[in-house]
Structure 1
Amino acid sequence: MGKTALGVGGAAALGALAYKLYNDYNKGESTTSGSPQTPDNFTQTSQHDESVLKAMIAAAKADGHIDEQEMAKIKQALTQIDADASVQQLIQAEMAKPLDPAEIARLAVSPEHATEIYLASLLVADEQNFMEKAYLKELATQLGLENGLVEQLNAQVSQ
């Protein structure tokens, strides 16, 4: 699935992939708090789409600029969520902001959402140079993702 997730269903495919990878990673571990997330209650909302979009923009600019490939992926995501003029304003504002992985991490509302934010970032930062790798590492730390899960996500995307 990997890098084609943005092309075959956008945010929904990305969410489903993140959910699957998160649950595959956590198989066998007992959950003690709250009800588990299922695909039915792992819903897509405008706030959810916005958080994924912000994560994508931050990852794209992690190396100091947004190249044509990264911008094409962002535009594809915008098309899939039927973005309007207010979303275009959001993009411009996010592109002008200083890079802050902690701010992106604060957008996560659940461990599954954190996984999705990291996965969206990973998919956009396809040509990982030192700066992108450092950003992704810090983002994973800020999101509280375990190393094993991060390795699984990286392996899934590189397939």
Structure 2
Amino acid sequence: MSVQQLLDQFLGGNQGGEPAAQQSPANGLAAKAGGMLQSIPGGLAGGVAAGSLLGLVAGNKKIRKTAGKLAGGAVGIGGAAALGALAFKAYQSWQGAGPASAGGSATAPVGETGLPIRALEPENFAPENQVAASGDLFPVALIKAMIAAANADGHIDGEEQAAIFAKVEEMQLDAQDKALVFDTLQNPPSVQEVASLAHGIEQACEIYLVSRMAIDPDHPREQVYLQELAGHLSLPDGLAVQLDRQLAQPAPLAA
């Protein structure tokens, strides 16, 4: 199993066993994922399901509580491709509402990368084959971000870890993938460490989105975590708001 397939296992996408490699930028992220997202009704937001690894790690009760409020169902069905589409739509909306138009450029940095905010294409938001600031493949960074966010309320105790480990052992994961999940569960990265994984504004958007999907926004400690994450990612004014809005509005995703 590739790290891309492991990411899809976390998000709940690609459950039919179709190789994740077929969901590639070459297939056209905007056309493929955008069209798919348009067809998802708001009531299907439960697609980030208890059966996904994210549902298991975040706690099924938490996922059931938040899923009905989010467009996470689109991601649950489409996996990484849908995640990229959501991030791109939010970025588009933010650029259209901000001082920099889609055809212009801006100079504000993002996170600790110093990269300028700029006009981006949908393919820039395809997580597969991207490299994080750490040098790891970007799906690894997204998996670490989800586990860290799920642990923001400190809910993953020893007993729950043991149950998660037992479930992961039943899955068809290779030793490296299991080690990634187990090591991150036992030693989740800090919010600063998660933010430092972002290489460019597109990765910052996607790290924020998967973290938002893993938390209960009504929990004070998790609210603080998300606010701190947005700050450490240096998300520009209004962009985090657009990302939240995009998750909350699964239906009107047409370009």
Q: Quick check: TM above 0.5? A: yes
Give TM-score scaled by structure 2 length.
0.52
**1:19–1:116 contact (8 Å) kept in structure 2:** no
Unaligned residue ranges in structure 2 (runs of 5+):
1-36, 38-70, 107-115, 131-136, 250-255
Question: CA-atom RMSD, angstroms?
Answer: 2.9
Alpha-carbon distance in structure 1 between the residues aligned to 2:156 and 2:95: 34
Alpha-carbon distance in structure 1 between the residues aligned to 2:218 and 2:176: 30
SS in 2 for 1:63: coil
* Matching of residue 26 in structure 1 with residue 95 in structure 2: yes
Give the residue type in structure 2 aligned to 1:93: D
**1:62–1:99 contact (8 Å) kept in structure 2:** no
Alpha-carbon distance in structure 1 between the residues aligned to 2:236 and 2:80: 23
Shift of 1:48: 1.3
Change beyond 3 A, Cα 1:24–1:84: farther
* Matching of residue 11 in structure 1 with residue 11 in structure 2: no
Q: What pairs with 1:19-58 in structure 2 (closer than 5 Å)?
A: 19-27=88-96, 29=100, 30-32=104-106, 36-43=119-126, 44-45=128-129, 47-58=137-148
Alpha-carbon distance in structure 2 between the residues aligned to 1:112 and 1:133: 22
* Matching of residue 150 in structure 1 with residue 240 in structure 2: yes
**1:6–1:13 contact (8 Å) kept in structure 2:** yes
SS in 1 for 2:235: coil
Runs of 4+ in 1 over 4 A off after TM superposition: 32-35
Q: What pairs with 1:4-153 in structure 2 (closer than 5 Å)?
A: 4-27=73-96, 29=100, 30-32=104-106, 36-43=119-126, 44-45=128-129, 47-66=137-156, 84-126=174-216, 128-153=218-243
SS in 1 for 2:177: helix
Change beyond 3 A, Cα 1:149–1:92: same
Change beyond 3 A, Cα 1:151–1:96: same
Change beyond 3 A, Cα 1:99–1:157: same
**2:144–2:189 contact (8 Å) kept in structure 1:** no
Change beyond 3 A, Cα 1:52–1:152: same
Alpha-carbon distance in structure 2 between the residues aligned to 1:158 and 1:35: 25
Give the residue type in structure 2 aligned to 1:126: D
Alpha-carbon distance in structure 2 between the residues aligned to 1:90 and 1:6: 22
Alpha-carbon distance in structure 1 between the residues aligned to 2:117 and 2:219: 39
Higher relative contact order (CA 8 A, sep 6+): 1
Residue-by-residue CA offset, 1:54-111 (whole Å, 9 max, x unaligned): 111111110002498xx99xx9xxx9xx853312211111111255111001111110
Shift of 1:11: 1.3
**2:216–2:222 contact (8 Å) kept in structure 1:** no
Give TM-score scaled by structure 1 length.
0.79
Higher relative helix content? 1
